[in-house]
Amino acid sequence: MAAKEDIALTIERQAAARRLLADPIITARSHPEDFALVHAHSDWLIRSFERVLGYDLTVADDHARLVKSGLVRAVATPLHRASGAPFTPRAYTYLALTLAALAETAPRTAVTELAAAVREAADEAGLDLDPESRLGERRAFVAGLVRLASWGALTVTSGDLADYAVDGSAEVGLAVDHAIAARIPAHPPHATADPRAFIARAENDAAAPDDRAAELTLRRLLAETTVVYRAELAPAHRARLTGHQWRAAAELTELLGCEAEIRAEGVALVMPGDAAADARGTDQHPAFPGSGPVGRAALTLLARLTAALAPPPFSHAVPIPAGLLRAGLAAAVDDDATRDWTRTATSHVPDPDALTERVLRLLVDSRLLEHAPDGGGLDDDPMDGWRLLAAAARYRDAVPAQVGGTE
């Protein structure tokens, strides 16, 4: 009985760690079951994240915040709107200005009052921005509000932010959780000469020369990157991976309950089958293949490409002929994604070009394809410059595939 209890305890702790790695901000309201686990195992999680990854975890009565350090350039991915579109620079600017305005906002406010405070913050920063000046500005402002609401910093108490995005006269009531809002910035704001210097300061601990920092860099790469390819690492990190990969994998397995797939081409962490959405279904790490039509189409495309190209053993990447990629995308999107989408509640099939873009983005984010076009001219074929990466080989027989021609 004691052994079964120990196993159950370990499973709970690892599930909580996976959730925090995927969603560094969780609240009792946004993730009630996950937060209950995090709160129950907070001492173990705080110690483990600091020891294994050098991450700082704070667990309060109603929220938890995992602050990640280093690897800003290596693993940063954009925030996305509800539509799936990535945040624009303007949306990020409004998000930052809103966070600044919330510091002095009353616990209960209206969206119009918050917009006025954001306009004042923009004036103080020397920015000519007004969230209520026109539709585009308001939509960028609302994108940040929706994200803040998903993190628990804001709660809509009346009205609808979508209505306000369309009609600036729509009334929306908001409740502010100042404690959560204050936790959202991973690092205290500071003045720097330019954006590059700001990012360099945020990740400077990863560049420290001592063994502890080098080991943390390796573990963070494994935990935060879908696949770590040896060919893409700097010589020092490649040597570190070769000498310490088993120890790093063992530490991460103990923390996350994952398995490490170690091959000549690189290393990938494979999460439990029932936890894919927890560990990879976020802005940071997309679930692959996931349960939706985009994932199904991506999986079908991979099967076609790997069957057609038959990548040789130990190859890091194989060029994909433009005709083969175009034919595979057409078949996968038209046959698989369209059929799956018609089974959904809305039966709405997105534009084929949009579907194609989402399929390719999922595969790039999952480190299964990469795009390195040579030209950049207006007449360049967008299907040129794509390469199939080594990890794609594991999906060769995932679904039946009829190989299309290369045109």
Mean predicted lDDT score pLDDT of the chain: 82
- Which of 223, 256, 279 is at the close of a domain? 279
Domain assignment present for 284: no
pLDDT tens per residue across span 293-339: 888 888 889 988 998 898 888 888 999 999 999 998 988 877 554 55
Do 65 and 93 share a domain, yes or no? Answer: no
Do 260 and 299 share a domain, yes or no? Answer: no
Please state, in angstroms and rounded to a whole number, the distance separating the CA atoms of residues 391 and 134: 46
Domain assignment present for 82: no
Give the domain CATH number at 119.
1.10.10
pLDDT tens per residue across span 98-136: 999 999 999 999 999 999 999 999 999 899 999 988 999
Q: Which residue has the tokens 């999906």?
A: 395
Judged on CB neighbours under 10 Å (0-12, 13-18, 19+), 155 is middle
**Dihedral in degrees, nearest 10, Cα atoms 381, 385, 389, 394:** 20
Do 16 and 105 share a domain, yes or no? Answer: no
Domain assignment present for 60: yes
Please state, in angstroms and rounded to a whole number, the distance separating the CA atoms of residues 220 and 67: 13
Residue 283: is its pLDDT beyond 60? no
Do 62 and 102 share a domain, yes or no? Answer: no
Res 158: pLDDT: 94
CB-CB contact of 148 with 101 (8 Å): no
Res 376: pLDDT: 53
Q: What domain count does the chain have?
A: 4
CB-CB contact of 367 with 229 (8 Å): yes
Q: Please, what is the angle between helix 211-224 and helix 42-53, to 10°? A: 110
Q: Averaged over 38-62, what is the pLDDT?
A: 95
Do 330 and 259 share a domain, yes or no? Answer: no
Q: Please, what is the angle between helix 352-365 and helix 322-331, to 10°? A: 110
**265: domain range?**
208-279
Q: Averaged over 206-214, what is the pLDDT?
A: 64
When computed from its CA atoms, the radius of gyration of the chain, rounded to whole angstroms, is 23
Residue 251: is its pLDDT beyond 80? yes
CB-CB contact of 203 with 70 (8 Å): yes
Angle at 323 between CA 319 and CA 397, to 5 degrees: 65
Do 266 and 301 share a domain, yes or no? Answer: no
Do 272 and 297 share a domain, yes or no? Answer: no
Residue 138: is its pLDDT beyond 90? yes
Residue 93: is its pLDDT beyond 90? yes
Q: How confident is the model at residue 355 (pLDDT cuts 50, 70, 90)?
A: confident
Domain assignment present for 349: yes
Do 251 and 216 share a domain, yes or no? Answer: yes
Q: How many of the other CB atoms lie within 10 Å of CB of 334? A: 13
pLDDT tens per residue across span 160-207: 999 999 998 899 999 999 999 999 988 766 677 777 777 777 666 544
Do 253 and 344 share a domain, yes or no? Answer: no
Domain assignment present for 57: yes
Residue 400: is its pLDDT beyond 50? no
Do 250 and 311 share a domain, yes or no? Answer: no
Phi, psi of 54 (to 5 degrees): 70, 25
Do 178 and 145 share a domain, yes or no? Answer: yes
Q: Compute the residue count for the chain.
A: 407
Q: How many of the other CB atoms lie within 10 Å of CB of 78? A: 11
204: Cβ contacts below 8 Å, ≥ 6 apart: none
- Which of 219, 246, 279 is at the close of a domain? 279
Do 93 and 62 share a domain, yes or no? Answer: no
Res 347: pLDDT: 46
Please state, in angstroms and rounded to a whole number, the distance separating the CA atoms of residues 6 and 327: 52
Please state, in angstroms and rounded to a whole number, the distance separating the CA atoms of residues 252 and 262: 13
Angle at 150 between CA 360 and CA 121, to 5 degrees: 100
Q: How confident is the model at residue 240 (pLDDT cuts 50, 70, 90)?
A: confident
CB-CB contact of 333 with 297 (8 Å): yes
CB-CB contact of 324 with 404 (8 Å): yes
